[in-house]
Structure 1
Amino acid sequence: MKRLFLAFFAVAMFGAQVPVLSAPATPAAPETLDPMKVAAARDLLEAMRFKFALAADMKAAASGAEDMLHKIVARKVQDNAQLDAAARTKATAALQKMMPEAVEALEGVFTDPQTSEDISKETARIYARTFSVEELVQIATFYRTPTGQKLLGMSTRIHNESLAYGRQYILRRIDTLVEEMMKNAAPEQPPRKDAK
C-alpha cells in the first residue's frame, strides 16, 4: 500500500519525470565477490558496531523526514516550468493534503528493518571490494581493541568538530576574498581636503 501511495505521490508531484520514485528499480546483478571477503567484511561491520550507528542514522533521518519532504515538494513545485503561478498554488495545496500519508510512508522506509539490512549488505560488499581478507581481519581486530573502541566512540564528535572548523575556516577565507574584491572594485578617491 505504501509503495502504491509513493508511486501515486511521485506521479502527482513530478509526472512521468521520476520513474525511480514510482517503482523500485531492479538492481543490477551484483558482481560475484569472494565469500571469504564478504564474511570478513561483515565481521568488520560487527566490530565497527555498524548496525548500531546505522540505526541511529535511520532514526535521525526518520525524525527529519517531514521537513525533508516539505522542502523537496516545495522545490519541485517551484522548479516545475510547466506550472504557472496558479497551477503551482493548486499543486502545492493538493500535495499538502497528501503530506501526512507521504510522511508516514517515508518514515516507514527509514524504520523498515529491510532498509538497514540492505544497506548493511551493500556496505559489506563495498568493504569486500576495497580490502583483502587479511586487511579486513586486521581492521576488525583493531576496532575490537580499547583504542579502536575509543575511535569508534569519538568518530562522530571528531567529524562534527572538523566540519565546524572547516566551515569557519572557509567563511574567514571567503570574507577575506570579498574584502579584497570590494577594495579592488572601489574607485580610487582623492584625499579629502578637510582631512588632517
Structure 2
Amino acid sequence: MKKIIASIFASVVLAGAAPVFAQSAPVASAAAPAADPAALAAAREMFDAMNYSTLLSGMMRQMGQGIGSSMRAGAEAAINNNAKMSAEQKKQALAKMETELPAAINALQGLMNDQTVVDEILSETVPLYARTYTADELKQITAFYRTPVGAKMLATTPQLMQAGMQIGQQVFVRRVGPLMEKLQAQQTKKP
C-alpha cells in the first residue's frame, strides 16, 4: 500500500510541476557554467516583476487543495485494476488505503504550503534563467511582464494552470481504464 501511495504521490507532484510562465528554459546540468552577474540581477528583477513567489505559492496551494482527491482516485484505480488481487484483498487494500492516505495527503499539503519550498525553488531557478538568457533578453522579458498584457498573463496564469490540470486529469482518466484493460489482457496471455 505504501508503494501505491508513494507512486501516486510522485505522479501527482510531477504532473503538477507545469511551467508557470510562457518562457521555459532547458534544465541545467550539475556542471553548468556560472551565470553572468548582470544576468543574475536581471533574472531576479524579472522574477520580481512577475511576482513569482506569490504566483508560485498560489499555484502550489491550488494544487494542494485538489491533491487529496487525485491521490485517492489514483490509489483506488491502482487497487481496483490489480488483476493479481482477489475481491477480498482489494477490499482490505482499499480499507488500508483509507487509513493511510489522510496522513500522506496532509504531509503533501503541508509541503505545498511551505513558503521555504517556494523560496528554494526561486533561488535555484534564478541562475538557470541567468545561464539561459542574456541580461538584455531578461530585461526584455521583464518589460513584457510590466505591460498590461504581461500583467494580465500573470494574473490569469493560476486559473489557467488549474483549469489546464483539470483538463489533463480528465484526459488521463478517460485513458487509464482502457490502458489498464490492455495491460491486464497482456498479463493473462503470458504463460
Q: Same fold (TM over 0.5)?
A: yes
| Residue ranges of structure 2 left out of the alignment (5+ in a row) | 11-28, 165-191
Partner of 1:40: 42
Q: 1:83 to 1:33 in 2, by over 3 A?
A: farther
Of structures 1 and 2, the one with the larger relative CO (CA 8 A, separation 6+) is 2
Per-residue CA deviations over 1:6-58 (Å, capped at 9, x if unaligned) read xxx633x369xx5x96xxxxxx7363331423332222111111111111111
TM-score by length of 1: 0.59
The size of the alignment, in residue pairs, is 144
TM-score by length of 2: 0.60
**Overall identity of the aligned pairs, in %:** 28
Give the distance between the partners of 2:149 and 2:62, measured in 1 at CA: 27
Which protein is bigger by CA-based radius of gyration?
Answer: 1
Divergent runs of 4+, >4 A? 154-157
| Residue ranges of structure 1 left out of the alignment (5+ in a row) | 1-8, 22-27, 164-196
Return 108-117 or 145-154, whichever deviates more: 145-154
Q: 1:125 to 1:80 in 2, by over 3 A?
A: farther
Give the distance between the partners of 1:112 and 1:106, measured in 2 at CA: 10
**Matched letter for residue 67 of structure 1:** S
Q: How far off its partner does 1:105 sit?
A: 0.8
Q: How far off its partner does 1:146 sit?
A: 4.9
Matched-pair contact (CA < 8 Å) for 1:14–1:76: no
Partner of 1:50: 52
Q: 1:153 to 1:128 in 2, by over 3 A?
A: same
